[in-house]
Amino acid sequence: MACQSDGRVVDRAKAWCSTAGIPYYRFSPQMSRDVAMDERGDERLAAMLWEAQSYAHANRQRMLQVAQLVAAIDVPLGGHGLGGDERLAAMLWEAQSYAHRHRQRMLQVAQLVAGG
């Protein structure tokens, strides 16, 4: 299974976020070759790891920005408070809660990648 990392779909998402005043970040390292989910070859896995690490290093400032944004999320302790679609509200609250619980770790990882 693959996901689209550029093109019209991504441009549309960027435009929507921009219109709503929401920062948009997408991290999609381009691999030199396809790697199967069940890949076991050391050479291919090592190449994939190196390419991902190189990508992370090249994008370290953007990753640090994302970590800082996540660290700033304020999660209400009470109910969802979003009204409307309760299922969507519950999903958003869960995502915010996860980010809140793990924000220190995310900052640490981003700082490591940034070389700090």
64, 110 contact by CB (below 8 A): yes
Residue 94 and residue 109: Cα distance in Å, rounded?
A: 22
Could you tell me the pLDDT band of residue 4, with boundaries at 50, 70 and 90? low
pLDDT value at residue 76: 55
pLDDT tens figures, 66-115: 888 877 766 554 454 545 566 666 766 777 777 777 777 777 776 776 66
Closest residue by Cα to residue 73 from 95, 92, 100, 94: 100
pLDDT tens figures, 34-50: 888 898 999 998 998 89
What's the predicted TM-score (pTM) here? 0.56
Show me where the domains of the chain are located: 51-116
Cβ neighbours of residue 67 closer than 8 Å, sequence gap 6 or more: 103, 106, 107, 109, 110, 111
Cβ neighbours of residue 116 closer than 8 Å, sequence gap 6 or more: none
